[in-house]
Amino acid sequence: MKCLTSGITATAFPPLRGSKSAHVPGVKFLGEVMTDKIIQNIRENKYDRNELEKLLSNAERLNREDIIEAVKESLQEIDPRSYSKRYVKPIREKVKGIAEEIMNSQGWGAWPENLVGNGVKAGGPMMNGEVLAEFYISYKKEGWKNSSYLAVVQPDEESVVHYMVKKHGEEGQIVYTSSEAIEFFAAALET
């Protein structure tokens, strides 16, 4: 088995590997030179997905942000599905959960007269790849040209969640708390 930190086999150099049965830990700290070598190997695609996953787990355990970022970039390049499963899916689930929580807490999920369908829906900007996560609740009644909606949005991995609320026939506005979003959307439903 190849040691991910040195490129040599762990059996040829046991101190790197450690031994659980003998209660001997493996390498706990990586120096600057070794870290640079690991990052270089990551960027040169010398590790497959499984090795990257193991390296990432260790880097997270050791709180090595430099290695974590390199692995994330490599995973995104060599295995977008694995990257998405690990990083994108949890963010999307969180944003969808916020939208569902708002809908359920306000009883906005079952309007019999809603012309655009009830429930939380995936937003177009997310589907088109313009934002990382967007889920929304919308409402349209007879006589309205456009619908009103409340969207929960997280544009990218680093940004915070915000809310876009649009009243039919008006421009949308961005707010940063769910209470503001609920208040504005409730007002939009009353007109």
Q: What DSSP assignment string belongs to 61-120? A: HTT-HHHHHHHHHHHHHH-HHHHIIIIIHHHHHHHHHHHHHHHHHHT-S--TT-TT-SS-
Predicted confidence (pLDDT) per residue in 48-95, tens digit = 888 888 888 888 888 889 999 999 899 888 888 888 888 899 999 999
Do the Cβ atoms of 182 and 171 come closer than 8 Å?
Answer: no
Asked if 65 and 44 sit in the same domain, the reply is yes
The pLDDT of residue 21: 57
List 133's β-bridge partners, or say none.
154
The pLDDT of residue 174: 97
Asked if 73 and 120 sit in the same domain, the reply is no
Torsions phi, psi of 139, nearest 5? -145, 135
Determine, yes or no, domain membership for 62.
yes
The pLDDT of residue 135: 98
The pLDDT of residue 60: 86
The pLDDT of residue 29: 53
Provide the 10 A C-beta neighbour count for residue 127.
11
Asked if 25 and 110 sit in the same domain, the reply is no
**Rounded CA separation 19/76 (Å):** 33
Q: Which residues of the chain have pLDDT under 50?
A: 1-19, 24, 26
Boundary of a domain, candidates 57, 78, 99? 78
Boundary of a domain, candidates 78, 101, 134? 78
Asked if 103 and 55 sit in the same domain, the reply is no
Asked if 181 and 112 sit in the same domain, the reply is yes
Token pair in block for residue 156? 């990218």
